[in-house]
Amino acid sequence: MWRALLFLVILAGCAPRAVLMSAPDQIDLPTRTIFVTTQRDLDPTTRQLTAARSALSRHMRLEITLPPSRGEGEIAFPTGKPDPETDMLVREYRPLASQSAMIAEVKQALRQSPESRVQLYIHGYNNTFADGVLRTVQMAEDFEFNGVSAHYAWPSAGNALAYAFDRESIMASRAGLQALIEEFARLEVDEFTIIAHSVGADLLMEVLRDLAVAGRRDALASLDGVILVSPDIDIDVFKAQATRIGKLPQPFLIITSPSDRALTVSARLTGQVSRVGSLADPDALGAFDLYFIDVSALSSGGDRLRHFTAASSPEAIRLIRQLSKAAEALGGDEALRPGLIPGTVIRVRQTTRIILGQP
């Protein structure tokens, strides 16, 4: 078990961490605006967000530049002097006084947006604040999202050895995420979707369960889609969560890979064979109305752990865009007819498994 953990730490530690640096004045580059809510505490001396947990939520608006040389799937950030041609940089950072103030700005952004859509991203294990912010921007750009992007930054330690700290942090962050989802649920938009990665998927499932327990079916009904990417969730725990939620938001997608190295280590740490995000056969969850998108046949891009292939691999990004466009064009299960999607479709009771890239 410890050998597997050491392997994970070595792989995770080899890559440089994302950083947020200011863009030079008067640069002419396209940008992406995102709204961020976080439970991270603020260092009183440096005024920087830390890994410490806060009982209060903080809200902000960021505008991030898009460098022309960035490749699909790449989170481009400075490793030395910032270069707008190669790095994603902060053009504007504006703290917002309250959640209500942020929602007011979201409404204004929606009025100016090409599409009446809101997309919320919840990061996973071992993420810094910069990791989550830049991943939100990268996904919105690469998946050609034309609505308003938001990010929930729960206080991950940003340390491969702090798995237990991160799991406890998601439990401490449920109230903050629930309040945010309830606010977004009140918006009059054409589409509200949530994407959650790794242990962030466990946080989302806990909040959806809490909404069901509280009788907030209106908030659940407002969701026009949930995507769990490599969810680090025990299979029996997921079954209990999904059963308590009842009718799952549709479509409900789980992006999986049996070759996910991070989830292999997580399974060993918890004494399990696999996690939901590494299931090779979704038969165990066949009672639930959901889609399994298997990306194990695809190249991983720069993702050596294969823990976020869906967003880091140009091949995966292209195929998922193709799948999304087929679903939008045809609607519902008609989009899953043979020949219309880039992969193999297998039905397991209520569950549909799509193996991307496999004929």
Q: Give Dmax over CA atoms of the chain in angstroms.
A: 59
For residue 165, give the 3-state DSSP assignment. Answer: helix
pLDDT value of residue 1: 44
Who wins on pLDDT, 153 or 271?
Answer: 153
pLDDT in tens, 206-237: 999 999 999 999 999 999 999 999 999 999 99
Residue 1, both tokens: 């078990």
Cα–chain center distance at 64: 18
* Alpha carbon distance 340, 327 (integer Å): 9
pLDDT in tens, 163-190: 899 999 999 999 999 999 999 999 999 9
pLDDT in tens, 299-345: 877 777 878 899 999 998 988 888 777 666 555 555 555 556 666 77
Of residues 234, 279, 283, the one with CA closest to residue 260 = 279
pLDDT value of residue 304: 76
* Alpha carbon distance 310, 208 (integer Å): 23
Query: Who's near 92: CB < 8 A, 6+ residues apart?
Result: 61, 62, 63
Strands (E), the chain: 31-42, 49-65, 90-96, 117-122, 148-153, 191-197, 226-229, 252-256, 291-294, 343-348, 351-356
pLDDT value of residue 281: 81
pLDDT value of residue 4: 47
| DSSP code per residue over 278-329 | G-S-GGGGTTS--EEEE-TTS--TT-TT-SSHHHH-HHHHHHHHHHHHHHHH
Tallying the residues shown for the chain, one arrives at 359
Provide the β-strand partners of residue 227: 195, 253
CB 229 within 8 A of CB 193: no
For residue 60, give the 3-state DSSP assignment. Answer: strand
What pTM was estimated for this model as a whole? 0.93
% residues pLDDT > 70 (the chain): 89
pLDDT in tens, 249-285: 999 999 998 888 888 888 777 777 679 999 888 888 9
| DSSP structural state of residue 336 | G
